[in-house]
């Protein structure tokens, strides 16, 4: 299976061009009203597979993600990824003209993704009652920190809070160190994946019922869902997972080890056969005969001695020699990469994980490709993130607004 042809091999269509019919979500229209990461990234994922995504931003307060992280020539680079495959318009939803225009857009859409605090759309008379009346088939996707109800629902919510409240930070870090937060939007990204799944589930239900519905996604929940059986452990045993650094409570050896040439290697022995092969490789086959070695939990209880054996062996090897020896022994090992290694790795190159996309502002840009490969209907990056409001005139004209109506909306400050 292969990804869609990279834009450098075949020219990408412009933002006004419809998604090719071969893309699996061709014909799906998504209004992206959300800001920052979880909601917009969900819309990006849908756009990568052919959905027509219309990004709706405030006329004077654009999505803050445009200014997050490093920029080149004054252009935020994160936005080039997050905004890809989206057409960009401006609407002030707090104005009468903005509200009326959004209702007209909603009548043409399949999905709306929003992340306002609960009650905000209702305050503007743009809640589920109004939107579903305009379009009974609409899927209204509401992404917030804490969900649409409950004692925290009106609090501002960000991924960092979810990483803290889910138990992720408490279980991450060295045993004697503080809880550790990730240096990137982990909870937001997990929530975006979960929201994409929720949207497609709601659309599948619509195919049967003929009606849309509300998706309520709380960012605090998906990251908790991927933390494994911690809830069940606590419920049944009162067990709370401690911080273990790079070690695992479930198996050993599992850690990060330094090589003779100063690199770091990650070793995993989740499978019993792999653990046995590692011990033979590092010259300590006698451990395999120990009764405690027969289970992952038993090996984890002897992590010190196993780490010492593996660590001493790896410390005498170069990175390449250690990886080659593990590969020959059919044992699991991987270098600890930074992004420089990622873009040059032959496996990532074979998968097409990093692709080059032309950009009218900055020239060729390398970024991560669409998320997965489909054999018959692969996704595609058709263009990168567009300037604020770049497609307002065109999209509203397609909606049927006259030039005079668009001018009036501008006069009102709705655009």
Active-site entry in 188, 307, 359, 391: 188
The average pLDDT across 166-179 equals 96
Comparing 7-21, 162-176, 236-250, 383-397, which segment has the lowest mean pLDDT? Answer: 7-21
Q: Which two tokens stand for residue 393?
A: 């005139």
For the stretch 61-85, pLDDT in tens is 999 999 999 999 999 999 999 999 9
Neighbours of 311 (CB within 10 A): 16
pLDDT bracket for residue 1 (50, 70, 90):
very low
Kindly report the average pLDDT of the chain as a whole number: 95
DSSP 25-42: TTT-EEEE---SSHHHHH
pLDDT digits (tens, 9 = 90+) for 284-325: 999 999 999 999 999 999 999 999 999 999 999 999 999 999
* DSSP SS3 for 255: strand
Q: What whole-number distance in Å separates Cα of residue 198 and Cα of residue 217?
A: 8
Domains within the chain, CATH numbers bracketed: 29-227+352-412 (3.40.50.10540), 255-338 (3.30.1540.10)
The DSSP H or E segment spanning 315 is helix 303-315
> Any residues with CB less than 8 A from the CB of 172 and at least 6 apart, and which?
179, 180, 181, 182, 243
304 included as an active-site residue: no
């Amino acid at each position: 299976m292969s990804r869609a042809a990279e834009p450098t091999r075949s020219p990408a269509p412009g933002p006004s061009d419809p998604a090719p019919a071969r893309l699996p979500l061709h014909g799906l229209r998504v209004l992206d009203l959300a800001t920052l990461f979880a909601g917009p990234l969900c819309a990006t994922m849908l756009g990568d597979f052919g959905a027509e995504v219309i990004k709706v931003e405030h006329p004077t307060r654009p999505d803050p993600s445009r200014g997050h992280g490093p920029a080149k020539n004054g252009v935020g680079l994160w936005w080039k990824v997050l905004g890809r495959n989206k057409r960009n318009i401006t609407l002030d939803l707090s104005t009468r003209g903005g509200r009326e225009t959004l209702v007209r857009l909603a009548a043409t859409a399949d999905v709306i993704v929003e992340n306002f605090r609960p009650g905000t759309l209702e305050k503007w008379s743009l809640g589920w009652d109004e939107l579903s009346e305009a379009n009974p088939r609409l899927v209204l996707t509401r992404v917030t920190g804490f969900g649409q109800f409950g004692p925290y629902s009106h609090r501002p919510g960000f991924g960092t809070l979810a990483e803290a409240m889910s138990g992720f930070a408490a279980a991450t870090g060295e045993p004697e160190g503080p809880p550790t937060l990730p240096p990137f939007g982990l909870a937001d990204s997990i929530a975006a994946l979960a929201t994409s799944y929720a949207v497609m589930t709601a659309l599948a239900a619509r195919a049967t019922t003929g009606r849309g519905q509300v998706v309520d996604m709380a960012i605090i929940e998906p990251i908790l869902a991927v933390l494994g059986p911690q809830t069940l452990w606590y419920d049944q045993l009162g067990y709370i997972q401690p911080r273990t650094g790079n070690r695992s409570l479930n198996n050993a050896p599992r850690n990060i080890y330094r090589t003779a040439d100063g690199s770091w290697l990650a070793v995993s022995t989740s499978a019993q056969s792999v653990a046995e092969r590692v011990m033979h490789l590092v010259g300590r086959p006698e451990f395999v005969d120990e009764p405690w070695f027969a289970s992952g939990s038993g090996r984890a209880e002897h992590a010190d001695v196993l780490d010492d054996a593996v660590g001493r062996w790896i410390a005498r090897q170069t990175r390449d020699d250690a990886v080659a020896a593990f590969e020959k022994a059919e044992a699991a090992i991987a270098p600890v990469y930074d992004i420089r290694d990622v873009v040059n790795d032959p496996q990532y190159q074979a998968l097409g994980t990093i692709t080059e996309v032309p950009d009218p502002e900055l020239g060729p840009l390398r970024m991560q490709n669409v998320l997965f490969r489909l054999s018959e209907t692969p996704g595609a990056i058709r263009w990168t993130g567009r300037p604020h409001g770049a497609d307002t005139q065109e999209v509203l004209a397609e909606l049927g607004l006259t030039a005079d109506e668009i001018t009036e909306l501008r006069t009102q400050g709705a655009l």
